[in-house]
């Protein structure tokens, strides 16, 4: 049993375990990697609202993402990212194809990790450099406690081609976080969620959290890919429709099979008319993100941007932005 001592905070005794900081002991616990990726304590949620500055348009201060995660925070960092960054040991549990290009990677960790929807963690496999990835939910929404889920492209970086080959279930994983990103916060106005390619990972985490935290808030979701065959997010979108989100659009520039539920063109061609009262989260390739930022700037809407950058080198892919993980990942 860990030694414990008492600390008085605002006149109330607080129990502190060895290794905890006084601030750790005073704050309620959160579980962002838990079953719903939600902040579990309403008191902490209220404190976050009071403590965080209002989000501004992020065109001058946005995190750079690569194949999987972010390297620096946007204009409204989560207090969890500021208060403590922790390490966890993990094990690769499963690798499941979601499409011809995208895989769902599930990691179990020794203890839950405090990461808000929209934030990233640093992921390191034995023999590979660490890089940031955005945790998300399983594509059907059934994520278990102590699971971290990531969307990884097969054809980008060193990790994608290795998954299921050199990197198999049972492989040891090192997790550290939070490691950047633009966290979701409840607020007024419409919540506009825009993603392209595996930028859907943080957007899915934000969408699911928002449907639990503020069910009455209007939500609009636009998800896309260059190729319609890579629109792997349909089960997640079905879950959102089942919770009362009717405004969902799928878009692709190439649709060889003429799928009836897919609109032609990039996601930017299918955004709703933006309002100054909107909050927009956008994740995906830099050109898509920049275009959405410009649209937000034109009407004064809040924009939280997560550009996912392609790896500069396949051999060093885990230390640059990319897969929904380390500079964030495609």
pLDDT at 40: 25
Left, alpha or beta for 103 (phi > 0: left; psi -120 to 50: alpha)?
beta
pLDDT interval class at 41 (50, 70, 90) = very low
For residue 235, give both structure tokens: 């089960």
Choice among 94-103, 163-172, 199-208 with the minimum mean pLDDT:
163-172
Residues 284-307: what's their mean pLDDT? 95
Q: Is 21's pLDDT higher than 50?
A: no
Q: What is the DSSP string of 260-292?
A: TTEEES-GGGGPPPP-TT-EEEEEESHHHHHHH
Left, alpha or beta for 230 (phi > 0: left; psi -120 to 50: alpha)?
alpha
β-pairing, 12-17 vs 147-153, is: unpaired
For residue 277, give both structure tokens: 């009262």
pLDDT at 15: 53
- Phi and psi at 81, nearest 5°, equal -65, -35
Q: Is 32's pLDDT higher than 60?
A: no
pLDDT at 310: 59
Which structural domains are found in the chain, ordered by start? 86-179 (2.40.30.10), 191-307 (3.40.50.80)
Most confident of 4-18, 100-114, 204-218: 204-218
Question: What is the Cα Rg of the chain in Å?
Answer: 19
Interval 259-294: pLDDT, tens = 889 999 999 999 999 999 999 999 999 999 999 999
Residues 121-128: what's their mean pLDDT? 87
Neighbours of 168 (CB within 10 A): 11
- Tell the residue number behind the tokens 């506009």, with chain if given: 192
User: Is this prediction's pTM over 0.75?
Assistant: no
- Tell the residue number behind the tokens 């902040």, with chain if given: 39
Interval 127-175: pLDDT, tens = 877 888 899 999 998 888 889 999 999 887 778 888 888 888 999 999 9
Instruction: Measure the N-to-C terminal CA separation of the chain; round to a whole number of Å.
Output: 43
Q: Is 234's pLDDT higher than 50?
A: yes
pLDDT interval class at 35 (50, 70, 90) = very low
Distance CA 186, CA 170 (A): 37
Beta carbons within 8 Å of 2's beta carbon, 6+ residues apart: 17, 18, 19
Distance CA 312, CA 323 (A): 13
For residue 206, give both structure tokens: 């934000």
pLDDT at 311: 52
User: Contact, 141 vs 234, CB < 8 A?
Assistant: no
pLDDT at 232: 96
Residue % of the chain over a pLDDT of 70: 68
Q: Which residue has the higher pLDDT, 229 or 255?
A: 229
């Amino acid at each position: 049993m860990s030694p414990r001592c008492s600390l008085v905070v605002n006149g109330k005794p607080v129990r502190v375990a060895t290794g905890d900081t006084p601030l750790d002991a005073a704050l309620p616990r959160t579980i962002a990697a838990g079953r719903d990726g939600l902040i579990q304590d309403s008191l902490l949620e209220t404190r976050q609202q009071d403590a965080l500055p209002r989000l501004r348009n992020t065109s001058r201060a946005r995190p750079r993402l690569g194949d999987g995660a972010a390297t620096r925070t946007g204009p409204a960092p989560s207090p969890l990212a500021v208060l403590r960054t922790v390490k966890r040991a993990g094990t690769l549990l499963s690798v499941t194809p979601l499409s011809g290009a995208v895989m769902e990677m599930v990691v179990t960790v020794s203890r839950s990790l405090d990461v808000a929807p929209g934030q990233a963690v640093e992921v390191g496999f034995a023999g590979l450099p660490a890089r940031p990835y955005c945790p998300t939910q399983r594509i059907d929404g059934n994520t278990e406690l102590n699971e971290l889920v990531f969307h990884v492209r097969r054809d980008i970086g060193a990790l994608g081609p290795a998954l299921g080959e050199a990197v198999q279930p049972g492989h040891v994983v090192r997790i550290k976080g939070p490691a950047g990103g633009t966290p979701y916060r409840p607020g007024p106005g419409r919540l506009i969620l825009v993603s392209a390619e595996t930028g859907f990972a943080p957007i899915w985490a934000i969408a699911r959290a928002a449907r639990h935290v503020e069910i009455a808030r209007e939500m609009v979701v636009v998800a896309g890919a260059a190729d319609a065959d890579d629109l792997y997010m349909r089960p997640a979108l079905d879950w959102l429709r089942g919770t009362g989100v009717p405004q969902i659009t799928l878009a692709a520039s190439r649709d060889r099979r003429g799928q009836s539920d897919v609109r032609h063109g990039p996601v930017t061609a299918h955004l709703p008319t933006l309002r100054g009262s909107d909050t927009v989260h956008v994740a995906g390739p830099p050109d898509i993100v920049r275009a959405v930022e410009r649209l937000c700037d034109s009407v004064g809407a809040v924009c939280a941007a997560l550009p996912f950058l392609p790896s500069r080198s396949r051999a060093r892919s885990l230390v640059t932005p990319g897969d929904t993980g380390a500079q964030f990942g495609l």
